Amino acid sequence: MASPPSASEIRQAKFTRRLPDALTALAGPAKGTVSLPLHLAWSGLTEFDLDQPRLRMSCYRIVLAEGLHDDLVRFLNKELLISMWPTLRTLISRDVRDVWESAYTELIPRPQAAA
């Protein structure tokens, strides 16, 4: 008899179901102001200026943690996500990070070359 899934496996399955088929589906804006709906930004700030690095990082953290499939493709931008990922991956939950890096090899950290 198989053991029941762990809490982490249940959380990861929830995030996996939300993923787009490919990062190219992420068609969100790369600049300007984004207004997140209340089902995403239910506590605090709802408008984010993507030209401000801290606000951009906050917006992406919220969308990755709370967003459903349609939110991910609407609010995230492939190029921004890839460029921000080395820092962003340290600011999101392990479950979200593991799901995204398992699904998209372009997000897997590369070993730093020796100087």
What total of structural domains would you count in the chain?
A: 1
Half-sphere exposure of residue 110: CA atoms within 13 angstroms, side-chain side: 5
Whole-angstrom distance, CA of residue 9 vs CA of residue 39: 24
Residue 25 inside a domain? The answer is: no
Residue 74 inside a domain? The answer is: yes
Calculate the average pLDDT of the chain.
92
Residue 6 inside a domain? The answer is: no
pLDDT in tens, 38-49: 999 988 889 999
Residue carrying the six token digits 């029941």: 4
Residue 57 inside a domain? The answer is: yes
Per the structure, the complete domain to which residue 44 belongs is given by 30-98
pTM: 0.88
Residue 1 inside a domain? The answer is: no
Residue 84 inside a domain? The answer is: yes
Helix (H, G, I), strand (E, B) or coil at 52: coil
Residue 79 inside a domain? The answer is: yes
Beta bridge partners of residue 77, listed in sequence order: 27
Residue 80 inside a domain? The answer is: yes
pLDDT in tens, 67-76: 999 999 999 9
Q: Give percent above pLDDT 70 in the chain.
A: 96
pLDDT in tens, 44-63: 889 999 999 999 999 999 99
